[in-house]
Amino acid sequence: MRPVLKRPPKLRDVLAKNNASDRFLASMAGKAPMAQSVIAPKRAYTKPDLEDTEAPVLAAVGELLHYHPQVLLAIRQNSGAAQTETGAPIWFFKVFRSPPEFTLTDYWGFLRDGRPFAFECKRPSFTTPRTERELKQQSHIHLIESIGGISGFVRSAQEAQCLLP
């Protein structure tokens, strides 16, 4: 039988308990309470824009790579890991040698002329890499470009088509 996983307390709850402890200890010591930790108000929920997701881009680029005459090999790379019951990680992929700060892109492979390619699919509103993960994906894109390959962030199958020969 699997043990029931207990979620860690929310930061809001931890800060509230810490503030209460600080006030109690200050009153016991006869001192003024310390400045209280500020708890940011909850952000209002905004419904996601179903038109601005990565899923349709992934599907369209995958179909393009499946039928494009210049594509010899195309691989869809899922990333991440899972854990065994003991907590040991199981990697879906492992890179043995790479530039530092490197993450594989969504699609990679080889063209019939021998050049590699790599495409990272992004939602249509994507403009420039900002997160740590996107910067690591950009590192893979630059690696492919440095050896004469074709790569880039793509927001549609048309953008991927423009990059392919």
Q: Give the mean pLDDT of 133-147.
A: 93
Report yes or no on 143 lying in a domain.
yes
pLDDT tens, position by position, 31-82:
888 787 776 777 788 887 877 899 999 999 999 999 999 999 999 987 666 7
The pLDDT of residue 2 is 67
Q: Cβ–Cβ contacts within 10 Å for residue 153, how many? A: 19
Based on the domain organization, do 61 and 140 belong to the same domain?
yes
Between residues 5 and 117, the one the model is more confident about:
117
Q: Where are the beta strands (DSSP E) in 97-165?
A: 107-111, 116-121, 150-154
Report yes or no on 50 lying in a domain.
no
- pLDDT at 85 > cutoff 90: no
Domain coverage including residue 21: 1-43
User: How far is residue 146's CA from residue 148's CA, in Å, rounded to a whole number?
Assistant: 6
How many separate domains does the chain show?
2
Based on the domain organization, do 74 and 9 belong to the same domain?
no
* CATH number of residue 94's parent domain: 3.40.1350
The pLDDT of residue 1 is 61
Report yes or no on 103 lying in a domain.
yes
- pLDDT at 24 > cutoff 70: yes
As a whole number, the mean pLDDT across the chain is 88
- Phi and psi dihedrals of 19, rounded to 5? -65, -40
